[in-house]
Amino acid sequence: MSPSPKPRSYVYKALNRVFGKALHRYDMISDGDRIVVGLSGGKDSMALLWFLHERLARVPIDYELFPVYVDPGFEGGFGEELHQYGRDQGYSLRVEYTDHGLVAHSKENRENPCFLCSRLRRKRLFEIADELNCTKLALGHHKDDIIETLFMNMCYAGEISTMKPSQSFFEGRFTVIRPLAYADEDSIKRFAHAMDFPEFANPCPTSRVSKRQAVKSMLEKLYRSNKKIKGNIFRSMSHVRLDYLLK
């Protein structure tokens, strides 16, 4: 299967450049890798799968991709539509139906449904990776996600930490890779539009009122005040001066 025609524009070139930069900087993919690609139905994971597949035809290493969507079980879900889209594109897309979202939004877990839902979904992806004998799990988190996670952990967990572009789990059994780590969300939006990716409505009842959305809104105000702020925040995570932090 050959991917959709490459968009001949600066949007593709810019995104492809930072995608490749992250892959090489963190040595994310090796010859013979079997990689589960976690799909959410959103533009980020769709772009992730497209670029990973597109690169297969032009890089000197070979790897296998296993796209998986973990359906959280909400009414009005789009698992069937996503599966059909994947089939139309030639992807062997697996849809895993669960009740993770319902469990996370139960009366016993009103405090932080997003955290539990994400944790259960990630657990299932690791289980599927193990089942398929895959050692890598590719996720569509981008630069904005990494910055937002930093602020979420400071505000709600009381610690300075975030997601890493490449991170080992279970004593090295699996490695989570985030090839879009250097990509801005706006660039991905433009690419998704240029590629005419399908849009699926998120059925999660708290998707627009989550803690992440609150942090995103706060940061957007900062970004509008000074265009250098986002880049400075992102670079600061690689320039930590421990001598000037509390102990």
Residue range 52-77, pLDDT digits in tens:
999 999 999 999 999 999 999 888 88
Which tops the pLDDT comparison, 180 or 119? 180
Q: What angle do CA 84, 32, 68 make, to 5 degrees?
A: 25
| pLDDT confidence of residue 7 | 54
Tell me which CATH homologous superfamily contains domain 10-239. HUPs (3.40.50.620)
| pLDDT confidence of residue 11 | 87
The per-residue pLDDT for range 113-156, each reduced to its tens digit, is: 888 888 999 999 999 999 999 999 999 999 999 999 999 999 99
Residue 194: which of 45, 10, 27 has the closest Cα? 10
How does residue 176 score in pLDDT terms, banded at 50, 70 and 90? very high
| pLDDT confidence of residue 44 | 97
In whole angstroms, what separates CA 163 from the centre of its chain? 10
**DSSP states along 192-235:** HHHHT--------TTTTSSHHHHHHHHHHHHHHH-TTHHHHHHH
How does residue 4 score in pLDDT terms, banded at 50, 70 and 90? low
Residue 40: which of 67, 11, 2, 3 has the closest Cα? 67
Q: What angle do CA 236, 241, 245 make, to 5 degrees?
A: 110
**Any idea how long the chain is?**
247
> Do 172 and 44 meet the contact criterion of CB atoms below 8 Å apart?
no
- Kindly report the pTM of this predicted structure: 0.92
| pLDDT confidence of residue 8 | 54
Mean pLDDT of 4-25: 84
| pLDDT confidence of residue 2 | 44
Q: Above 70 in pLDDT, residue 192?
A: yes
Q: What is the CA radius of gyration of the chain?
A: 18
157 in helix, strand or coil? Answer: helix
Residue 96: which of 83, 110, 87, 109 has the closest Cα? 83
> Do 194 and 12 meet the contact criterion of CB atoms below 8 Å apart?
yes
